[in-house]
Amino acid sequence: MRNVWIIAKREFSSFFATPVAYVFIAIFLMLSGVFSFFIGNLYDRGQADLLPFFNFHPWLYLFLVPAIAMRTWSEERRSGSIELLMTLPISIWEAVLGKFLAAWAVLGLALVLTFPLWLTVNYLGNPDHGIIVAAYVGSWLMAGAFLAISMCMSALTKNQVVAFILAVVVCFLFVLSGSSMVVDALQPWAGNLLIDTVASFSFLTHFEAMAKGVLALNDVGYFVLSVVIWLYASLIIIEQKKAD
Amino acid sequence: MICVKNLSKMFDQFTAVDDLSFEIQSGDIVGFLGPNGAGKSTTMKMLTGFLTPTGGTIEFDGQSLDSNQKMIQKSIGYLPEGAPAYGDMTVFGYLNFIAEVRELKGDVRRERLKEVIEKVELQSVLNRPIENLSKGFKRRVGLAQAIIHDPKILILDEPTDGLDPNQKHQVRRLIQALSRDKIVIISTHILEEVTAVCNRVMIIASGKLKFDDTPQALQQRSRYYHAVTMKLSYAADISGLAEIEGVADMEVDRVSGEVTLFPESGQFILGPVTDYVQHRKLPVDSLFVEQGRLDEVFRSITTEEAAA
């Protein structure tokens, strides 16, 4: 655990040593504001809640999380520093977990910095704070799932751009799989079981309840499990490809 | 002690390391020589646990690397080829990070950092990002990182590559100054480096061990070993030189005007040759005894198989 902490600390400060974290946070704050006010009509709805804000998170994460995760492993392999990392007395899972936690903390920080929005609805009315806290937690969990996928894609290639595109595509599949578009496309020929299975992988469906402030065990479990599985996949990929 | 048995590594169809076996004792400073692509780096990567061998075993003090990797990695300091580092970190931040991973704490860490920074002279760049440093500084940061925990085993892949002659000298002194009970393995292209620092030479070509002995023994392999070379200021009758007792052969370089006399094996011919020169009053400008030409030995050892 000590090593996980050391790695996470290094990675976290590296996000802030380069403009990556600042740009990410600035863009995230700007876009989430734009989406909730102009497209989500936060004011016009006349309700003191943050539902329009949270509803756009899957779409924001779709592009922003792969961007923050794309360098995690590909840069490490391209520069050769992976050789250094793997010959230090640190096991791969410690490195994987450390890197994940560091980037997840940056995402968490970006979420925390949206607090003015919370203050705004507080000023305008009396929102249910429990719901908002739950939605924040849910959003952070979903961000973790996006992050784990993106990191796994970053482990696949030395090229950051390729890592980014792969991550966006895979994340997109998971976001979309429950949408009416996919379900409609499957409807004519696939059985109900297949449709249900595909739909159950959807980030959107699992996040829907969370955005409304319901932290159901199956939704939380789904995102936690996604994180674990994708991180485990990256561990195997790194083990296989570290020296390529 | 490092004990390597029948080590081999295949990349797809390509055999990078082929059935390598050797032992390295404490106190050995081993120079790994070989042409590019000979398998030096691959061998080092396997010794440090970065690559998993396709076959064979590696043991450190009787413990196999396979099952005690983390324990063993704690006692190894490693400078990978090209000295990779985290470019966005400052030199101090980076060394501090490595010291932390190496479980150095509090005063000990401060003490070690100070010592290492002084040893490789990094004081002037401590707060600069590594990616902005020159090649020589990067290499020295990599070296500092490798010795920070005072490891029992030090593995350096081309530690003097990209350094200027002064820095090379400094790195060699640093390696020699490491205490006598350590194992140091250095890979290099520079043959002189081996005679300057190492007490053992291993030459690897196409993944096979071709030579394993002292640098002196390597020099003795050269036909120039103890040969006498002289330069004449103008043409003179030198036919008699080849007749001197103990001289096996004579070669004349027509361009430089240098005459080289090769001794019969084990003979010292400097005495008889100088006697002859004085006796005949030959116009000799310079005269010296050769120590053996390593590049020639290196060439013959690493290409003999390819030719066969």
Higher pLDDT, residue A244 or B203: B203
At B223-276, the pLDDT tens digits run: 888 888 988 888 777 888 888 888 888 888 878 878 888 888 778 888 888 888
Give the mean pLDDT of chain B. 88
What DSSP string runs through A16-65? Answer: HHSTHHHHHHHHHHHHHHHIIIIIS-TTTT--SS-HHHHHTHHHHHHHHH
A21, A41 contact by CB (below 8 A): no
A236 part of contact set with chain B, CB < 8 Å:
no
Mean pLDDT, range A54-62, rounded to an integer: 91
Six-digit token string for B252: 């004349």
Residue B48 has φ and ψ, to the nearest 5°, of -90, 0
A205 close to B (CB below 8 A): no
Dist CA B91 CA B130 (whole Å)? 6
Distances (CA, A) of B254 to B243, B259, B274, B289: 20, 9, 22, 20
Could you tell me if B8 and B15 are in contact, meaning their C-beta atoms sit under 8 angstroms apart? yes
Q: What residue ranges of chain B are covered by domains with CATH 3.30.70.100?
A: 223-291
Pick the range with the lowest mean pLDDT from A149-163, A198-212, B66-80: A198-212
Evaluate if residue A169 carries a pLDDT over 90. yes
Residues of B within 8 A of A88 (CB-CB) are 73, 98, 101-102
Nearest-angstrom CA–CA distance, A177 and A200? 8
A79 in contact with B, Cβ within 8 Å: yes
Annotated domain spans of chain A: 2-241
CA–CA distance, B79 with B188 (Å, rounded to integer) = 13
Residues A28 and A106: beta-carbon distance below 8 Å: no
pLDDT digits (tens, 9 = 90+) for B178-201: 767 889 999 988 888 888 889 899
Contact B12, B19 (CB under 8 A): no
Give the span between the Cα atoms of B190 and A203, in whole angstroms: 58
| pLDDT value of residue B308 | 44
Nearest Cα neighbor of A97 from A9, A210, A201 is A9
Mean pLDDT of A180-207: 81
Q: Say if A240 is an interface residue toward chain B (CB within 8 Å).
A: no
Mean pLDDT across B45-70: 92
Residues of A with Cβ-Cβ distance to B81 under 8 angstroms: 80
Residue B48's closest chain A neighbor by CA? Answer: A87
Strands (E), chain A: none
Interface test with B, best of A10, A75, A99 (most B CBs within 10 A): A10
Cα gap A8→A90, rounded to integer Å: 13
Q: How far is B88 from chain A (nearest CA, A)?
A: 6
Decide if B82 and A10 are in contact by the 8 Å CB cutoff.
Answer: no
**What percent of chain A is modeled with pLDDT above 70?**
100
* Cβ-Cβ contacts under 8 Å, B85 against chain A: 81, 84
Q: Which of B42, B78, B100, B102 to mutate to test the interface with A (most CBs of A within 10 A)?
A: B100
CB pairs under 8 A between A and B: 59
> pLDDT tens across A6-18, in order?
999 999 999 999 8
Cβ proximity of B56 and B62 under 8 Å: no
Contacts of A243 in chain B (CB under 8 A): 45, 50-51
Amino acid at B171: V
Nearest-angstrom CA–CA distance, A190 and A173: 18
B70 touching chain A per CB within 8 A: yes
| Interface residue of B97, B127, B153, B157 to substitute, partner A, most A CBs within 10 Å | B97
* Contact residues, A window 86-105, toward B, CB-based 8 Å cutoff: 86-91
Going by their DSSP bridges, the two strands B284-291 and B2-11 should be labelled as unpaired
Please give the sequence-ordered ranges of beta strands (E in DSSP) within chain B, or none if there are none: 2-11, 14-24, 29-33, 55-60, 63-64, 76-79, 153-157, 183-188, 200-205, 208-213, 225-232, 247-253, 258-263, 284-291
Q: Do B84 and A88 touch (CB under 8 A)?
A: no
- The residues that bridge with B17 in the sheet, in sequence order, are B9
The beta-carbon neighbor of B100 closest among A6, A14, A18 is A6
Q: Which CATH class is domain B1-75+152-222?
A: alpha beta
Q: Reduce the DSSP state of residue B212 to 3 states and report it.
A: strand
Residue B305 has a pLDDT of: 56
Mean pLDDT confidence for A178-186: 77
CB contact under 8 A, A79 and B84: yes
For residue B72, the chain A residue with the least C-alpha distance is A89
B45–A83 C-beta distance less than 8 A: yes
- Per-residue pLDDT of A104-135, as tens digits, reads 999 999 999 999 988 988 888 888 888 899 99
Instruction: Check: CB of residue B79 under 8 Å from CB of residue B157.
Output: yes
In B, which residues are within 8 Å of A80 by CB distance? 80-82, 84
- Which residues contact residue A217 at a Cβ distance below 8 angstroms, ignoring those fewer than 6 apart? none
Gap from A124 CA to chain B (nearest CA, Å): 44
Range(s) within chain B of domains with CATH label 3.40.50.300: 1-75+152-222
Q: Is B49 on the interface with A (CB under 8 A)?
A: yes
CATH for the B223-291 domain, from 3.30.70.100, 3.40.50.720, 1.10.287.470, 3.40.50.700 = 3.30.70.100
- ipTM computed for the complex: 0.88
Cα of B254 to nearest chain A Cα, Å: 49
Largest CA distance in chain B: 75
Q: Which long-range contacts (CB under 8 A, 24 or more apart) does A163-168 make?
A: A163/A66, A163/A69, A163/A70, A163/A71, A163/A73, A163/A74, A164/A66, A164/A67, A164/A70, A167/A65, A167/A66, A167/A69, A167/A70, A168/A62, A168/A63, A168/A66
